[in-house]
A and B are shown apart, each in its own frame.
Chain A
Amino acid sequence: MSLQSRRRKANLTAMVLIAPFVATFAIFFAYPTLKVLQLSFTDSPLIGDGNWIGVDNYVRLLGDRLFYTSLVNNAYFVLLTVIPTTAIALGIALMISRLRGRLQALIMVLFFFPYILPVSVVTLIWTWMLDFQYGILQGVFTLFTGKPVAVFKNPHWVMPVIAAVTIWWTNGFNVLLFLAGLRNIPTDLYEAAKLDGATAWQRFRRVTWPLLWPITAMVLTLQLILQLKIFDQVYLLSKGGPFNSSYVLLLQVYREAFQLDHGGYGSAIAMTLVVIIVIFSVLQFQLLRVVGRR
Chain B
Amino acid sequence: MIRNRKLANQLFGLFALLCAGVWMFPLYWAFVTSIRSEQNVVGGGGVLPDEFNLASYIDVIFRTNLMRWYVNSVGTAAITTAVVLLFGVMCAYALSQIKFPGRRLLYGVVLLSFMVPPQALYVAQFILMNDLGQVNKWGGIILPQLIVPVVIVVYKQFFDAVPKELREAAVLDGASEFKLLFKVYLPLNWGITTALGIVTFIATWNEFFLPFLVVTSETQMTIPVGITQVNDAFGVAYARIMSVALLAAAPVAIAYLIFQRKVTEAVMISSGIKG
Residues of A within 8 A of B (CB): 10-11, 13-15, 17-18, 20-22, 24-25, 27-29, 31-33, 35-36, 39, 46-47, 92, 95-96, 98-99, 103, 105-114, 116-121, 124-126, 128-129, 131, 133-134, 136, 168, 173, 176-177, 180-181, 215, 222, 225, 228-229, 231-232, 236, 250, 253-254, 257-258, 263, 266-267, 270-271, 273-274, 277-278, 281-282, 293-294
Contacts and interface: CB of A to CB of B under 8 A. Distances in A.
Interface in B117-161: 117, 119-128, 130, 143-144, 146-147, 152, 157
A33 B124 contact: yes
A21 B88 contact: yes
13 contacts: A14-B103, A31-B128, A39-B123, A46-B126, A110-B24, A118-B248, A134-B238, A136-B47, A168-B23, A176-B268, A257-B126, A270-B121, A278-B115
A115 to B, nearest CB: 8
Interface stretch (B51-59, B162-170, B188-196, B255-263): B255-263
Contacts of A109: 257, 260
B256 to A, nearest CB: 5
Contacts of A15: 100
A11 B146 CA distance: 25
B258 to A, nearest CB: 11
Contacts of A105: 260
A230 to B, nearest CB: 9
B116 A278 contact: yes
Contacts of A117: 206, 249, 252-253
Given A21-B152, A25-B147, A119-B208, A111 B245 contact: no
Contact of A267 (B95, B117, B123, B130): B123
B264 A113 contact: no
B30 A125 contact: yes
B196 to A, nearest CB: 14
B13 A103 contact: yes
Name the residue among B47, B86, B90 with the largest chain A CB count within 10 angstroms: B90
A4 to B, nearest CB: 14
B242 interface: yes
B80 to A, nearest CB: 11
Nearest to B231: A124
B9 to A, nearest CB: 8
B4 interface: no
A28 B41 contact: no
Contact of A177 (B19, B127, B202, B271): B271
Interface in B77-122: 83, 86-88, 90-91, 93-95, 98-101, 103, 106, 109, 113-117, 119-122
B124 A39 contact: yes
Contacts of B249: 117-118, 121
B33 interface: yes
B90 A95 contact: no
Contact of B241 (A124, A270, A294): A124
A111 B24 CA distance: 8
Interface string B205-232: 1101100010000000001110110010
Contacts of A116: 202, 206, 252-253, 256, 263
